[in-house]
Amino acid sequence: MTLHKKAIDILKSYSLCDYCLGRQFSNLSTGTTNKNRGSTIKDFLTLFYSTDITDDTVLILQALSRADNKLAKNTLNRNNFEIENSEECYICQNTLTENSEEIIQEILPEIKDYEFQTFLIGTSLPKEFFERERNLKEEFNVVQTEYLKQEFNRLIGGRIGEFLSKETDFQSPEIVIEISPLTYSIVLKLKSLYIYGRYRKYIRTLPQTRWPCRKCKGRGCEECNHTGKKHQESVEELAEYEALKLTHGYKGVLHGAGREDIDALMLGTGRPFVLEIVEPKVRTIDLCELEKNTNQYSKGKIDVSEYRWSSKNELRDLKSSAERTVKKYKTLITFKEPISEKKIKEIEKFFKNRPIDQRTPQRVSHRRADLIRKKTAFSVQCSRINETHIEAIITCDGGCYVKELISGDNNRTKPSIAEVIGIEAKCKELDVIEIQDGFNEA
C-alpha cells in the first residue's frame, strides 16, 4: 500500500493531529520533525485530491478537514462544500498541540531553584493513549513509527533546553522531570551527589548510621523522648550536617567500607566511606570548605579527611570490597583467671595466618543471616597490663568479628583465644587502628 493510500485510510477512520500522523511514518525520512512530517502529508493529500473533485475526493478532503488541515478547509470552502469541524486527535486528545507550552510554563518555576546542567524529561500517560495507538497500528499495519512518549519527551525537553541552555542526558541526568500532560503534575527526581572521605570516631557511644528507636520504629515515644531515635547522634548525622547546609539536600546517607561496633573507636587513617547527598538543590560546593566545616561542627566526636567527588559506581566497589580488606584492631582483653607469659606466647604463636570459622554471633543474629564465615587471623601481638588483662593488636580479614574471636561466643567462633588457652576471655575495649585498602589511592 502506498504512503498516501495508507494515510488516507487512517484519516478517514481517525482524526489525527500533525504530530501523531507524522509519527506513524517517522522512519520514512530524516531531517524534519513529526509535526512537519504530518502537516506535509496532509497538505500533499489535499493537493493530490483537489485536482479532480468528486464525491469520493470530497469525503477525503472532509476527513482532512476534521484532522484540522487548513488547506483542506480552504479547498472545501472555495468549492462550496461543507467544511467539517476539527476533531480531537484520536491518540493524544490534542495534548501535543494544546498542552505542551502550558506544561513548559508549569515546569520552569518548579525547577528554578535547582542547580543542574543535564536533565531528562519523563512522561506519564494514561494507558488508554497507548491502547488507542496500538489499535491503530494493528488495524493499518503501521510499522514505521515513533512512540507517543518519545514525542512528548523530545518536544518538552527541546523547549526546556532552549529556555535554560541545558543539555538532555539519557544516561545519567542530574535531574529527571516527570510530567503528566493531562493533569499537569510534575515530579522532580534529582541525582544524588557522592563524596568520598575517611572518618575517625573518638567516642564509644556513637553508631555509624541513624539508629531508630526499636519500640516506636522512629515514630517517637516516651522511651526515646519522642525523638524516634535510640541514639541521638551518629557518624552519618554528624557528617551530613554541613553538607546539607551547603547543598540544601533532603538527607545524607553514609555508606561505609564496613562498620565498627557502637562501643569501638575508629582511629588510624580512618574508615573509607561515601556520603550520598539525596536530592541536592545545589551541586557546586567547595569540598575543602565542607571538610573544614564538618570537622569544626563534629569536634571531639569524629573528624573527616580526604574529601573528593565520588560516584555510585565507586560506592558499589567500596561496599563490595569491605570484606576483602585487612584490618588491625587494638583490644583490651580481660581474663577470668590470671594468664601466664607462657599462655600469652601461645596466643601469639597460634594465631599466625590462622583460618577461623565464625558462625553469626548471637549479639547480631536478630539482624544477620545465620552463616558460617571463613576468615583469617593474620597475627595477634600481646602486651601484658596486669595478671588478668592484656592489650592485643589483632590483624585479620575485614568482616571478622573480633570480640567473638576473643571470647569464642559459646563455640560459635572456632578457634578463639579463650579456647586456645582454656581461660574465659572477654573483649573489654576495641579500637580499629588501621584499614588496609586501595581507596585512599584513588
Does residue 321 contact residue 442 with C-beta atoms inside 8 Å? no
**Nearest-angstrom CA–CA distance, 240 and 308:** 15
Cα–Cα distance, 257 to 23 (Å, whole number): 50
Q: How many separate helices (H) and strands (E) can be counted in the chain?
A: 14, 14
Length of the chain: 442
Strand positions, DSSP E, 153-301: 167-168, 175-180, 185-190, 193-201, 251-256, 265-278
Report which of 10, 302, 309, 165 is spatially closest to residue 23, judged by C-alpha positions: 10
Q: Is the peptide bond before 415 cis (omega within 30 degrees of 0)?
A: yes
CB 425 within 8 A of CB 417: yes
Q: How would you classify the pairing of strands 185-190 and 175-180?
A: antiparallel
Active-site residue, from 9, 43, 261, 263: 261
Q: The cell 597460634 sits on which residue?
A: 350
As a dihedral over the C-alpha atoms of residue 169, residue 172, residue 175, residue 180, rounded to 10 degrees, the angle is 70
SS3 124: coil
Task: Render the burial of 2-23: b for 16+ CB within 10 Å, e for the rest.
Answer: eeeebbbebbeebbbbbbbbbb
261 belongs to the catalytic site:
yes
Q: Which are the catalytic amino acids? A: 261
